[in-house]
Every structure is written in structure tokens, then in C-alpha cells.
Amino acid sequence: MKASLLDISQLACSHNGQTIIRSLNLTVETGTICGLLGPSGCGKTTILRAIAGFHPVDEGKVVLDGKTITSPTASVAPEKRGIGFVFQDYALFPHLTVAENILFGLKQRSGTQQQSQLREALALVGLSAFAERMPFELSGGQQQRVALARALAPEPRLLLLDEPFSNLDTHLRSQLSREVRGILKHKGITAILVTHDQQEAFAVADQIGVLDNGTLQQWDTPYRLYHEPVNHFVATFIGKGSFIPGKVIGPTCVSTELGEICSDKPHGHETGSHLSVLIRPDDITCDNSATSASAVATIIDKVFNGASTLYLLQLDSGNRIEALLPSHQNYALHERIAINLHAADHLIAFTH
């Protein structure tokens, strides 16, 4: 098991008398890339700012590499924490060259060290040929690479990234997020990424925290967040899905209008009790030629996504679910189609 680099315990933060973060507890292991997801205003950026020393805390503490760096009574200066920060708007100095921007955080190093770390940082982000360029001469993606290089050059123990790709177009955002993960893993850097984009968090992070109203709802792997959400909020916030009624028929099984859904783990609900069962779009398949089907549904809406199409389906009961099908399975609005449920290996259900 890896040693923890960052430990946050019972952290509480407020702004103008309004509580923003409530009793936050989390541990980040060395070399792990973490993500923070949640609705706007839930406290994601405030957590980063508290870790960096930019925001005071009301309760609790932040411990970095065994040393308390933030508490209500004591705080290490931000510049002495060994933490790098990549801002949403890049925060580059417009009057300085790329090299000068990167060197800005290396003033305490010797000239030889500065040049060595500058060359390494530029090479790491693929900008070795751009050292003398000005920020306005760079594309958005290149500016973000400079911001990343500047944050990495001092060799921080922890890197914080606040919506670093939000100003980029979709293709570049996807490309750069993969590149950044590769760089962080190559250097073994521990990092926390704040983003609104779930797919971005899934692609970059090893561990993700889901926040709602200042409270950490679940701290888990991307896979478990999607397939094993701990509560109704996480289930509806992460990914897509619809709830249909279900009735417990055994310690691991629930009966629904789409058939039985069973899990390899006990669900903990009494036989005969009624639950809301989550159906993910990828749990549904369609085969009109099949001799047996879980149900027949009517297509209410459809969204073409290229390789796939997302269908909104209405069951005969009136309940609605979504189905993500290959786009070559092209069905018309109001068409009746036979569907099957393929969720036999997992069950996500909550009490009403």
C-alpha cells in the first residue's frame, strides 16, 4: 500500500458567514491522480484553495507529507508548501516570454539549476522550440502547456489543477487531458484535478471525490462511482440513468418490469420491500428479431452521437428509460422496439 501524501481531516470552510465545506475527510496516496466532481458551487475550488493556502479554514486540518500546513490556528505560507497550482485562465504573465514565465517560480535556484529545470519542463510539455515566444503568440493549448510547465518546474510535492482544460475545444481538451495524465504518471506526481467534465475526470483520475453542497458523498475509483454509487445523488450525478420501481425477491435479487436484476453481493434490503432501481443506458440492448424480450418500448426521443445513438424509451407502464445503442441500429421516433436488460452482474437500488 502506498504512503499517504495528503491527509485532510474534518475540514470546514466558509465565506461571508456561509458554510462552503462541511467536515471533509480524505486521503491522497503518493503518486495518485485524484479528481473532484460536483455541481457548480459545491466547494470543489475552495478545497484546492484551502490546500494551497489561499483560503482560511474554520475547522480541521490539512497535512502534507506528515506536516500540518493548514489549520484554524496555523498556516504555512503558500509559497513554502511545495504545491504547484494550474489555474483555469492559465495566469501567464503577458509581458514575459515562455521561458521567463516558467523561470518565475525558480528564482531561489542556482542559474545552472534554473536552466536545467527549464529545459526539462519545456521538453516535458513538448514546447522546447517555443521558449522565446510570448503568450499571445501561442494557441490556447500551448498556453495551458506553459502553465503546466511552470507549475511542474519547481518539482512540487503536490499539483493542484483547477478546471485546466475548460477554455479549450472538445478535441483539444480530450487530447491534452490524456497528455497531462501521461506526464504526471511519468514523473510520479501526486495531483488533484477539479473539473465539471465527468469524462475528463474518468480519463485522468485514479480516484474521484463527488461533492454536493460542501459534503463529500463518495471517494472512490471511477469504476465504482459508476457501477457502485453509495447513494441516490451519486447515482444520478455520475453518468446517465433512470430509476424504475423494483421489489426485493431475495438477498441479492430484485424484480422489475424489465425482469430480475441480481448482484453478486447482498443488497441489504428485506424481502418484499420496494426499491428504486437504476437502469443505465448501456444496460439496455435491442433486438427486434429476438424470440424473447424483457419488454417492448416506444421511442420518445433520440440523439445521434456518431458511433452511438441515445434513445429515450417509454415502457408500457409509463416509466421512461434511456438506451445507448450502436448508431447502425437506426430506429424511428414512435417506433416500438423489443429491448433486453443486461444488468445481471450489478444492482444499483435505493429505498424510496
**pLDDT tens string 1-24:** 678 999 999 999 999 989 999 999
308 three-class SS? strand
In this model, does residue 290 exceed pLDDT 80?
A: no
The chain-wide mean pLDDT, for the chain, equals 92
Q: Is 22 exposed, middle or buried (0-12, 13-18, 19+ CB in 10 A)?
A: middle
Q: What is the CATH number of the domain that holds 339?
A: 2.40.50.140
Whether residues 135 and 281 share a domain: the answer is: no
Is 41 a member of any domain? yes
- Shared domain check, 194 and 108: yes
**Residue with cell string 513538448:** 126
Q: How confident is the model at residue 224 (pLDDT cuts 50, 70, 90)?
A: very high
Residue 284 lies in a domain: yes
* C-alpha angle 220-50-28 in degrees, rounded to nearest 5: 30
Q: What phi, psi does 61 have (nearest 5°)? A: -155, 160
Instruction: Verify that 256 and 228 share a domain, yes or no.
Output: no
Q: What is the CATH number of the domain that holds 191?
A: 3.40.50.300
Kindly report, residue by residue over 295-324, the tens digit of the pLDDT. 999 999 999 999 999 999 999 999 999 999
171 confidence band (pLDDT: 50, 70, 90): confident
328 in the same domain as 293: yes
Percent of the chain having pLDDT more than 70?
98
| Structural contact between residues 213 and 239, judged by C-beta atoms closer than 8 angstroms | no
Same domain, 173 and 194: yes
At 232, list the grid cell: 441516490
Q: CA–CA distance from 301 to each of 134, 310, 315, 329, 331 (Å)? A: 49, 8, 13, 15, 10
Domain boundary among 184, 208, 232: 232
Q: Residue 344 pLDDT more than 80?
A: no
Average pLDDT on 59-82 reads 95
Query: Are 251 and 205 in the same domain?
Result: no
* Least trusted range by pLDDT, from 243-252, 269-278, 282-291, 321-330: 282-291
Q: Residues 141, 208: one domain?
A: yes
The model's pTM: 0.89
**C-alpha cell at position 158:** 503536490
Cβ–Cβ under 8 Å, residues 71 and 57: yes
> Which of these, 186, 177, 348, 335, lies nearest to 278 by C-alpha position?
348
**Is pLDDT above 90 for 56?**
yes
192 and 53 part of one domain:
yes
Summarize pLDDT for 180-189 with one digit per residue, the tens: 899 899 999 9
Q: Is 237 inside a domain boundary?
A: no
Q: Which domain holds residue 320?
A: 242-351
Separation of alpha carbons 296 and 25, rounded Å: 46
Distance, in Å, from the CA atom of 212 to the CA atom of 44, rounded to the nearest integer, reads 9
Cα gap 322→290, rounded to integer Å: 20
For residues 196 and 262, membership in a common domain is answered with no
Q: How many CB atoms lie within 10 A of CB 158?
A: 22
